[in-house]
């Protein structure tokens, strides 16, 4: 197996194609604009543009049900939409809002988690012991295996 192909294939095996243009012999994109043909990160294996609209909208809406990971998945899946700012105008609002939602949520959650972890007992007093997970698990007997 030639080394270059094996490496490209190995990269393709483990990482989704970050640049869908590399797979196409379709030369309708000029070198300068490079608008991607496929809106998803999977390239030709992913969704077409019409289906993508439905998916992007659904992911965005369901993310409000305390599922910020769905927003993250939305951004990851439609990464070409985020990267090329003038492509897929119908998809872009959903993906951008998902990105904003995910960042806001992760800021809130990480600040709370870090405060909890770093502040510890000094800050919270006795409630730290009540809130921390390993005590909760012991109290409720959740790890009754061993």
Residues of the shown chain interacting with another protein in the complex, contacts defined by CB under 8 A: 1-6, 9-10, 12-16, 23, 25, 40-42, 44-47, 51, 55, 58, 66-70, 73, 76-77, 109, 112-113, 116-117, 120, 131-134, 136-137, 140-146
Q: How many CB atoms lie within 10 A of CB 109?
A: 11
Least spacing, CB of residue 142 vs another protein, in Å: 6
Residues 74, 81: contact at Cβ < 8 Å? no
Residue 34 or residue 138: which is nearer to another protein going by CB?
A: 138
Residues 119, 112: contact at Cβ < 8 Å? no
Residues 90, 57: contact at Cβ < 8 Å? no
Least spacing, CB of residue 81 vs another protein, in Å: 13
Write b or e for each residue in 77-96: b if 16 or more Cβ atoms lie within 10 A of its Cβ, otherwise e.
Answer: bbbbbbeeeebbeebbebbb
Residue 45 or residue 100: which is nearer to another protein going by CB?
A: 45
Least spacing, CB of residue 146 vs another protein, in Å: 4
Residue 34 or residue 134: which is nearer to another protein going by CB?
A: 134
């Amino acid at each position: 197996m030639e080394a270059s192909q094996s490496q490209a294939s190995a990269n393709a095996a483990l990482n989704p194609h970050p640049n869908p243009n590399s797979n196409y012999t379709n030369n309708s994109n000029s070198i300068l604009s490079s608008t991607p043909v496929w809106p998803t990160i999977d390239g030709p294996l992913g969704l077409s543009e019409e289906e993508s609209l439905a998916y992007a909208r659904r992911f965005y809406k369901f993310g409000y049900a305390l599922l910020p990971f769905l927003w993250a998945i939305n951004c990851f899946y439609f990464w070409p939409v985020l990267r090329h700012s003038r492509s897929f105008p119908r998809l872009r609002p959903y993906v951008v809002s998902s990105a904003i939602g995910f960042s806001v949520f992760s800021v809130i959650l990480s600040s709370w988690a870090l405060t909890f972890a770093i502040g510890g007992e000094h800050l919270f007093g006795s409630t730290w012991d009540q809130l921390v997970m390993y005590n909760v698990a012991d109290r409720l007997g959740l790890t009754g295996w061993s």
